Chain A
Amino acid sequence: MAASMSGVDNTEVNTPSINLTSFQKKTRSKLLSIPGTRPSVQNGQLLVSTGVTSLDFLLGGGLAVGAVLLIEEDRYDSYSRMILKYFLAEGVVCQHELFFGSAQDSPDDILQELPSPIMDDVAIPKPVEHTRLSAEPQDRVDAMKIAWRYQNLPKVQSTLTSSSRFGHYYDVSKTMEAEIRQAARCHYFYLPDHPKQTMSSHSPTLESYSALLKSLQEVIQKEGFAVAASSAKSRNILRIGLHSLGSSLWGDDLCCCDNPKHPHALTNFLYGLRALLRSSLAVAVVTVPSHLIQNRALMGRIAKLSDTAIALESFKGSERETNPLYKDYHGLLHVRQVPHLNCLASQFPDHKDLAFKLKRKQFSIERLHLPPDLSETVSRVSRGEVPRVTSPASTCSLSTSTNKDLDF
């Protein structure tokens, strides 16, 4: 067990050893040990890091091999694209193979935008416990005079972190160096490179999606990612990133009309993708511009067809941007679906209100906690949800201000 978890590349599984006794240890079926993966603590599933450590924690340790993560894009597609880049960058650092499918960006563009990994191992933002204070406590800005015993504790323990380190951290202000990038093997699917062939209108899916699925199948077969393939060489994981499926650039009018001509095209593709992934050593991250899809039932079906689904809602451009509650964060994160692979109960995150913030060295997902409301006009009626700064709230508080004399 210890040997398989160390992640050492083992080319031969059965090393002959001299048996001094006739006792033979009953070995389990070979546990695959691939660099960059680890078995889950909950159900022994092989997990892969998504590149964002907070997201790994949310998903229960990491993304399971053979599963699909669906990301519903934010309005301007900035943060979902960032997560996709983190995912691919993590693949480069862990020496996995990459597959990138897009109708919008040429493959070179996205590969040049990958963030550069922070290579030193100590770059973990631990809560401050053992820092050696060399300077006088009074010289520090946040040194407290009376409550000095608490000055090293963090203010609120709100970041989601796990104790053991699995993923890597990336610096988004720098791009990955060319040597590291070129060491990784990448396969591409760029839609304008595949010319349109006329297909019969009876087919349930669009030709762009079927071409993508066919290309994926070829890569998996040829490069030996299928689980059933003979393990002549060391196994590796294929990371598949598919950008903006369902947008009009793929030829799908799901986002354009309320009654699309091929309503089942994307759902068929996702079904086929999941079937393909279950029998291969691959992980997929798919982004969908859900804010453009008008048919909510269809969106629900798409979420059901993937294993994990999260939605990003960025504050940019919405009226929530000026809300003082959200001023530290860049957006909200909603978990639409959690996977239950080989188990009955799934691992739900404890907290439902999650917000994300893209910092330079980390994409952090935190629990949204409200500061105490100390204004005079706090109404006595309990408001459990996050209060909205719209006119109903203002009338609510104005009405209680007339009863100010009665509040004590």
Chain B
Amino acid sequence: MLLELLHGSDSGGFVLIRDSVHYSGRHLLKSFINAALHREEHVHVLLFEVGEQELIYGFKEIQRLHIHNAYEDPLGWTSTTDLTTQHFCLNYLTKILNETSQQKASILVIDSLSWILRHVSTTTICSTLHQLKKGGAVKTIMGLLHADMHQKGTVGSVCHLATSLITVAPGKAGDNCTAMITKRTKSGKVLQEEHALKINEDLTITVLKKSSNAEPAVHEELQTDPTANLTFNLRLSDKEREAKEKLLLPFMFSNDKKNAFLHTGTGSGQILYEPDANDDYDQEDPDDDLDV
């Protein structure tokens, strides 16, 4: 599922990468940007947290990458830059998106949402994101959110808006990371997967291991098989099975009688007689040869 998201095969929606102080999600975000650039799509990045040099380090071709830099002056104190946190609203964003790429819808990357959440109210951001999600100027929105910087409710509200939520955590060894992906389809279904990944130098992703459900906490109890080491035989051979099937049990009736029991009839009693093995059911009337 991660590879599908990476290749952008399902368009639309809001991909949110949620990271923490233990593992930064920026590498994953850069891999997404890299994949989008390879697909020849226009990517607009709203940069709040890192400088421009640090962002473009590692990208090969940056022709379609448009960076809107707010790193130096995010709050507009020196009024030199034209993008501040207050500019995160629908009108301004559609304006800057339309002026660079006219024909196709582009991808908007927000690095990071946490910065904006510190300065603008959550409700405004949520409504802006919701309107951007629906509008035509943006094909996909990708955002980075630091989960430990905000209150649980804030993180929850923003994650509730996301169509795909990727939570990254440090992996077992070295540079690996585990990513838990939750995706909500349009029909309301929710899919979840967990991957162990390694992000290479050239910003491609190798998926090491994939599991479709979070593995349950492993506590293995050695359950001894009680049917082993018995002094009697529990299995049946084929002949024995046949003999068992053929055995006539005492209350086994014919089908008619069973049906009559199961569906009690229309009222009038029926007498169904089946001769038992012990009954002396002789068709001939023994009184026939009496000369009376």
Give chain B residues whose Cβ lies under 8 Å from the Cβ of A319. 214, 216
- A130 contacts the other chain (Cβ, under 8 Å)? yes
**Residue of A76, A292, A377 touching B157 (CB-CB under 8 A):** A292
**Residue of B151, B189, B214 touching A294 (CB-CB under 8 A):** B151
Give chain A residues whose Cβ lies under 8 Å from the Cβ of B230. none
Binds A, one of B7-15, B92-100, B259-267, B276-284: B259-267
Q: Which of A63-86 contact B (CB under 8 A)?
A: 76-78, 81-82
In the complex the two chains form, is B219's CB within 8 Å of A247's CB?
Answer: no
In the complex the two chains form, is B182's CB within 8 Å of A317's CB?
Answer: yes
**Residue of A255, A292, A322, A389 touching B213 (CB-CB under 8 A):** A322
CA distance A258 to B255 in the complex (A): 69
Give chain A residues whose Cβ lies under 8 Å from the Cβ of B262. 133, 148-149, 151-152
Besides the known contacts A76-B188, A152-B262, 14 further A-B residue pairs in the complex with CB atoms under 8 A apart: A76-B182, A133-B263, A148-B258, A247-B160, A249-B130, A253-B121, A257-B151, A292-B153, A319-B216, A322-B216, A375-B223, A394-B221, A397-B221, A398-B221
In the complex the two chains form, is B255's CB within 8 Å of A136's CB?
Answer: yes
Q: Given A146-B249, A248-B122, A248-B123, is A317 in contact with B190 using a C-beta cutoff of 8 Å?
A: yes
- B200 contacts the other chain (Cβ, under 8 Å)? no
- A256 contacts the other chain (Cβ, under 8 Å)? yes
Give chain B residues whose Cβ lies under 8 Å from the Cβ of A349. none
Q: Which of B238-267 contact A (CB under 8 A)?
A: 249, 251-252, 255, 258-259, 261-263
Interface centre among B122, B154, B251 (most CB of A within 10 A): B154
In the complex the two chains form, is A257's CB within 8 Å of B216's CB?
Answer: no
CA distance A37 to B213 in the complex (A): 45
CA distance A82 to B262 in the complex (A): 39
Q: Given A251-B127, A294-B152, is A76 in contact with B184 using a C-beta cutoff of 8 Å?
A: yes
Give chain B residues whose Cβ lies under 8 Å from the Cβ of A401. 221
Binary interface encoding of chain B residues 177-220 relative to chain A, with 1 for a CB under 8 A from any of its CBs, else 0: 00000101000111010000000000000000000011011010
**Number of A interface residues in the complex (CB < 8 A):** 48
Give chain A residues whose Cβ lies under 8 Å from the Cβ of B252. 145-146
In the complex the two chains form, is A132's CB within 8 Å of B219's CB?
Answer: no
In the complex the two chains form, is B154's CB within 8 Å of A316's CB?
Answer: no
- B76 contacts the other chain (Cβ, under 8 Å)? no
Interface centre among B121, B123, B188, B189 (most CB of A within 10 A): B123
- A104 contacts the other chain (Cβ, under 8 Å)? yes
In the complex the two chains form, is B122's CB within 8 Å of A316's CB?
Answer: no
- A192 contacts the other chain (Cβ, under 8 Å)? yes
Q: Given A292-B160, A317-B190, A322-B216, is A256 in contact with B221 using a C-beta cutoff of 8 Å?
A: no
- B89 contacts the other chain (Cβ, under 8 Å)? no
Q: Given A76-B184, A317-B190, is A291 in contact with B156 using a C-beta cutoff of 8 Å?
A: yes
Which residue of chain B has its CB nearest to the CB of A79?
Answer: B188
> 10 closest A-B pairs (Cβ-Cβ)?
A248-B126, A256-B122, A78-B188, A292-B156, A248-B157, A394-B219, A248-B123, A294-B153, A256-B154, A76-B190
**Residue of B126, B127, B221, B259 touching A377 (CB-CB under 8 A):** B221
Give chain A residues whose Cβ lies under 8 Å from the Cβ of B217. 390-391
In the complex the two chains form, is B153's CB within 8 Å of A256's CB?
Answer: yes
Q: How far is the CB of A289 from chain B (nearest CB, A)?
A: 7
Q: Which of A122-147 contact B (CB under 8 A)?
A: 130, 132-133, 136-137, 145-146
- B131 contacts the other chain (Cβ, under 8 Å)? yes
Size category, B interface = 35 or more
Give chain A residues whose Cβ lies under 8 Å from the Cβ of B152. 294
CA distance A53 to B67 in the complex (A): 55
Q: Which of B137-186 contact A (CB under 8 A)?
A: 151-154, 156-157, 160, 182, 184
CA distance A249 to B196 in the complex (A): 34
Binary interface encoding of chain A residues 304-316 relative to chain B, with 1 for a CB under 8 A from any of its CBs, else 0: 0000000000001
In the complex the two chains form, is A252's CB within 8 Å of B123's CB?
Answer: yes
Which residue of chain A has its CB nearest to the CB of B126?
Answer: A248
Give chain A residues whose Cβ lies under 8 Å from the Cβ of B151. 256-258, 294
Which residue of chain A has its CB nearest to the CB of B150?
Answer: A256
Give chain B residues whose Cβ lies under 8 Å from the Cβ of A160. none
Q: Which of A388-408 contact B (CB under 8 A)?
A: 389-391, 394, 397-398, 401
Interface centre among A152, A248, A292, A375 (most CB of B within 10 A): A248
Give chain B residues whose Cβ lies under 8 Å from the Cβ of A390. 217
CA distance A152 to B122 in the complex (A): 58
In the complex the two chains form, is B263's CB within 8 Å of A249's CB?
Answer: no
**Residue of A256, A316, A377 touching B192 (CB-CB under 8 A):** A316
Give chain A residues whose Cβ lies under 8 Å from the Cβ of B249. 145-146
- A293 contacts the other chain (Cβ, under 8 Å)? yes
In the complex the two chains form, is B157's CB within 8 Å of A247's CB?
Answer: yes
Give chain A residues whose Cβ lies under 8 Å from the Cβ of B192. 316-317
CA distance A321 to B215 in the complex (A): 11
In the complex the two chains form, is B160's CB within 8 Å of A82's CB?
Answer: no
In the complex the two chains form, is A192's CB within 8 Å of B131's CB?
Answer: yes
Q: How far is the CB of A62 from chain B (nearest CB, A)?
A: 26
Q: Which of A374-389 contact B (CB under 8 A)?
A: 375-377, 389
Interface centre among A252, A292, A375 (most CB of B within 10 A): A292
CA distance A149 to B263 in the complex (A): 10
CA distance A321 to B190 in the complex (A): 13
CA distance A256 to B222 in the complex (A): 46
CA distance A103 to B200 in the complex (A): 42
Interface centre among B153, B219, B255 (most CB of A within 10 A): B153
**Residue of B156, B182, B184, B226 touching A255 (CB-CB under 8 A):** B156
CA distance A376 to B227 in the complex (A): 13
Q: List 21 A-B contacts (CB under 8 A).
A: A76-B188, A133-B262, A136-B255, A145-B249, A146-B252, A149-B262, A151-B262, A248-B126, A249-B123, A256-B157, A289-B160, A317-B182, A317-B192, A319-B216, A322-B213, A322-B214, A376-B223, A377-B221, A391-B217, A397-B221, A398-B221
CA distance A317 to B212 in the complex (A): 11
Give chain B residues whose Cβ lies under 8 Å from the Cβ of A247. 157, 160
Give chain B residues whose Cβ lies under 8 Å from the Cβ of A377. 221
Q: How far is the CB of B165 from chain A (nearest CB, A)?
A: 10
